[in-house]
Amino acid sequence: MKRFSSIALVIVVTLVILNMSNLPWELRFAAPQHNYLFVMILAIILPASVLLWSLYRRTKLLKVSGLLVALAAAVPSFIVFIFAAGDYSEIKQSGVDNSFAELNRLNVNDDNYVLYRTDRGATTSYGLVLRLEREIGFGIHAVKVVHSKYKAAEGQLELLSESQIKMQIQPYDTQDQMEVVVLDI
């Protein structure tokens, strides 16, 4: 059981780090509520795996240290769990993730270029994110951010050729002008 607790801890910590890292490619579920469920599960098993690891240590110092780390991880994990659970239940009922709403989609070969409007809440402005999404299988996509624009609410994609996409970004307020971005794909 000592070996299992160590392996479980390494796997959980690796998943948490990968989920929090800003890597060029990320894995995302096709169903938005599954992404929130995954975060909720990680928030539960992170402190639990540290606690399990500490229970199977031989020295009192490692046991106490592991218990303290588990307790320290439990507080932020609980906060993350509460926020993710609220979003999860809302998305499960409505079927739509309003914090990441799809505006436009282009299929080019086997790739999907998807334009999303981001809404991070009352204290932020809308933004646009263009992502390249490739289906891996089992409802999982490999996702890469191609372009993003903060303080933008509306945009449109147009395929110019097999190697270029045009993204028109509507003005966010009266001081802005329409922005046109041509991206090589």
Per-residue pLDDT tens over the stretch 25-51:
999 999 999 999 999 999 999 999 999
**pLDDT 10s digits, 108-145:** 988 999 999 998 777 778 999 999 999 999 999 999 99
pLDDT for the residue 136 = 93
The answer for residues whose C-beta is within 8 angstroms of residue 71's C-beta and 6 or more apart is 47
Give the relative orientation of helices 2-20 and 32-55 as an angle to the nearest 10 degrees: 140
Among 57, 45, 59, residue whose Cα is nearest residue 13: 45
Confidence of residue 176 (pLDDT cuts 50, 70, 90): confident
Dihedral angle computed from the Cα positions of residues 119, 124, 130 and 135, in that order, rounded to the nearest 10 degrees: -40
Indicate the pairing of strand 155-161 with strand 164-169: antiparallel
Indicate the pTM of the whole model. Answer: 0.85
Q: Quote the pLDDT of residue 111.
A: 92
Using pLDDT thresholds of 50, 70 and 90, give the confidence band for residue 22: confident
pLDDT above 70 covers what percent of the chain? Answer: 100
pLDDT at 120: 76
d(CA 8, CA 56): 12
DSSP 154: -
- In this prediction, residue 158 carries a pLDDT of 95
> Based on the number of CB atoms within 10 Å of its own CB, is 20 exposed (0-12), middle (13-18) or buried (19 or more)?
exposed
Mean predicted confidence (pLDDT) in 161-174: 91
C-alpha 42, offset from chain centre: 13
Mean pLDDT computed over 75-104: 93
Rounded Cα gap, residues 32 and 41, in angstroms: 15
**Residue 132 vs residues 24, 28, 40, 102, 148: alpha-carbon distances, Å:** 11, 12, 25, 13, 12
